A and B are shown apart, each in its own frame.
Chain A
Amino acid sequence: MIKKNSHPIEELELMAYLDGELSRERAAAAAAHLEACAECKALANDLRGISLELATWQIESSDAEITARLSVALEDHDRAQQKKTDNDGRSGLRILWPRRRVWPWALAATGLVLIVTASLPNMLRKAVPRAEFSSLWPKEQEIQQAQSVAKGTTAYSYDGQPSRAPTPGYGTMGRLERSHQGTEGLLRDQVRATETKAIGEFLIPTGPMVIRTAELALTTTDFDQARTRMEEILRRHNGYLGDLNVSGTTNSARTLTTTLRVPAGQLDAAMAELKMLGHVDSESQKGEEVSQQYVDLQARLLNARNSERRLTDLLQRTGKLSDVLEVEQAIESVRENIERMEAEKKNLEKQVAFSTVSLKVVEDYKERVQVVPDSTSRRLRNAAVEGYQMMVAGLINLLLFLASWGPSLLLWAAILFFPARWLWRKGRRELF
């Protein structure tokens, strides 16, 4: 072996030089060095000798001619070439009649255009307000009916005359009503008149219904006192805590985040007092009027109750068993709606009655000077304990990992080891 440091040409370069694989400059350098260096000359002779030895294994020259298989393939190639030439001659036609490879793309483009064309009306239809199609939804019939009742009632309250009568329902309920139309006509008219009047008196709230929410962010120097005073304010105004969260340690700035529920009438007074707890960083108030929503809800509720009553009346009449079952199902559905709407109504009333205040109080913390620092021995001890704890925790985590993943990993390793080794060996032997 040639020592790399003592020769300007490496042995690999020397071999490349003999193989004619070096650039001109490097080849000249290699030739010059070869003249002078006996060691490299010996290596070059060795390499040349190996090539000469390899050259002794000669293979008998092949006198193979083009076989029949090759001739057939050549003829096929000639035919294909001729066809191509003919097609090239008709290149004018190709503009009108493109190659076959174009057709899949053309078909795909046509398909895409068709899909877009077909889906465009549906996409446009989605933009139309849902109310326009409410008659198509059986479950929304009662809502629609209640809305029309509510509108009729509003007119009544101004004009003194009912301008619109409630529309009878459809679907199951409508069919049942129609079947008893003759016997119930008069009674139903009376009921409707009473209902309409009742709605007119009942639905309109005395004043606007507003859900008020406020957000307040404060910074205070005395965090503990601010918290105590906040609780006092809350008690004084008959409010209650929605939630409360305090974060931070005693040696850093603490933050209190809370949601307060205060009676709507006392929100302004409570806010004024809360602002006294510290420096106001930000404040915002929001009011959302829900009068119309409330009226609508009440109308739907009233109408659903009337429907329930009428259906209960119908149930008391004799009829086919199938009709009775159908009425039972209708009653069940209406009651479910009533319960849901009642819950919604209560929630709405509660939100209106109690305003929500999101309060954030941040402590204006000042770092205290630590006169007597921790001793080195104590810090060392603490560090040692922490280190030990971390080591134990790490060990436990490792054991837990091995316990939970170990069997699976072992199983997969056992399954995959032999195929992987086989594939590796196969890949290695693929060529040689």
Chain B
Amino acid sequence: MYGGDVGNTMISDEALMLDFQRGSREAFEELFARYRGAIHGFFRRRLENNERAEDLAQETFLALIRAVSRYQPRAQLRTYLYGIALKLLAAERRKHKSASLDECDHELPVIDEIPDRALWVRQSLEKLDGFEREILMLREYEQLSYAEISQLLRLPVNTVRSRLFRARLALKGHLEPQMKLHRATTASGTQDQDEDEAQQ
């Protein structure tokens, strides 16, 4: 029924949520299909354990089901969902921190088998201030607008903008050496290849 487009018009998340509120299971399935990847990605980039990320993504939708009767379309559903996800993430980090008191800061997860460039990105993100990192990640990976980020983090929009800019500049500073190295490696590789071809 909600197979994406209906007569070239995509049904909005909020309309789907209202349909789900009225008892439409298909509406929920459509919402789940739209957001499962995004919510999973949100947790996956912030947690070490993939299974736990899956669990928390499911819990986000579980919370959505439980709260559907109280839902009012005052804000975008996307913001609402990420709000739930942020709360679950905070609870998870609290739990994790109480389990291992030694870990004082929330560092990004160590994910094996990721490409080099992605690893640099992750390492560079780790070096950012936690608050600025979260704003940057919400903007870049979750594609949230400034207004949505300000609503989620309860910050003025101007603060979000200035801290996002600061985070980007700081990240550029961290990434630049790696990028230069990468460019140099690539250039030398290409030169060797050209020389080999010339010799042949």
Contacts and interface: CB of A to CB of B under 8 A. Distances in A.
A and B from one complex: yes
Interface string B62-79: 100110110000000000
A169 B180 CA distance: 115
Contacts of A51: 140
Interface in B87-131: 89-90, 93-94, 97, 104-106, 114-115, 117-118, 120-122, 130-131
A67 B56 CA distance: 12
Contact of B32 (A60, A61, A66): A66
A432 B130 contact: yes
A69 interface: yes
Interface in A1-28: 11-12, 15-16, 19, 21
B161 A78 contact: no
A57 B111 CA distance: 11
Contacts of A57: 45, 114, 118, 121-122
Contacts of B175: 50, 53
Contacts of B136: 54
Contacts of B22: 81
Contacts of B161: 12, 15-16, 21
A118 interface: no
A431 B62 CA distance: 21
B184 to A, nearest CB: 16
A58 B118 contact: yes
B141 interface: yes
Contact of B66 (A47, A49, A73, A429): A73
A61 B86 CA distance: 20
Contacts of A85: 23
B172 A59 contact: no
Nearest to B38: A62
Interface string A77-89: 1101110010000
B58 A70 contact: yes
A320 interface: no
A16 B161 CA distance: 8
A53 to B, nearest CB: 6
B134 interface: yes
A50 B23 CA distance: 44
A56 B36 contact: no
Given A57-B118, A64-B40, A432-B134, A74 B165 contact: no
Interface in A27-72: 46-47, 49-51, 53-62, 64, 66-67, 69-70
Task: Report whether over half of chain A's contact residues are helix, strand or loop; otherwise say mixed.
Answer: helix
Nearest to B21: A81
B117 A74 contact: no
Given A57-B122, A77-B65, A432-B131, A69 B58 contact: yes
A50 B146 contact: no
A61 B50 CA distance: 12
Nearest to B171: A50
Given A70-B62, A80-B69, A62 B36 contact: yes
Contact of A428 (B117, B122, B131): B131
Contacts of A54: 121, 136, 140-141, 171
Given A50-B175, A62-B37, A55 B86 contact: no
Interface in B164-193: 164-165, 168, 171-172, 175, 179
A367 interface: no
Nearest to B22: A81
Contact of B54 (A46, A53, A62): A62
Interface string B30-58: 00100011001100110000000010011
B45 A59 contact: yes
B12 interface: no
A288 interface: no
B58 A21 contact: no
Contacts of A69: 58, 62
B15 interface: no
A58 B66 CA distance: 31
Nearest to B124: A53
B115 A62 contact: no
A430 B153 CA distance: 11
Among A61, A73, A428, A432, the one with the most B-chain Cβ atoms within 10 Å of its Cβ is A432
Contacts of B62: 69-70, 73
Given A50-B168, A55-B140, A62 B57 contact: yes
Contacts of A21: 145-146, 161
Interface of B: 22-23, 25, 28-29, 32, 36-37, 40-41, 44-45, 54, 57-58, 61-62, 65-66, 68-69, 86, 89-90, 93-94, 97, 104-106, 114-115, 117-118, 120-122, 130-131, 133-134, 136, 139-141, 145-146, 153, 161-162, 164-165, 168, 171-172, 175, 179
Give 10 closest A-B pairs by Cβ, nearest first: A432-B130, A62-B40, A81-B23, A57-B118, A73-B65, A59-B41, A56-B117, A57-B121, A54-B140, A59-B44
10 contacts: A15-B165, A19-B146, A49-B172, A54-B136, A54-B141, A62-B37, A74-B65, A431-B90, A431-B131, A432-B106
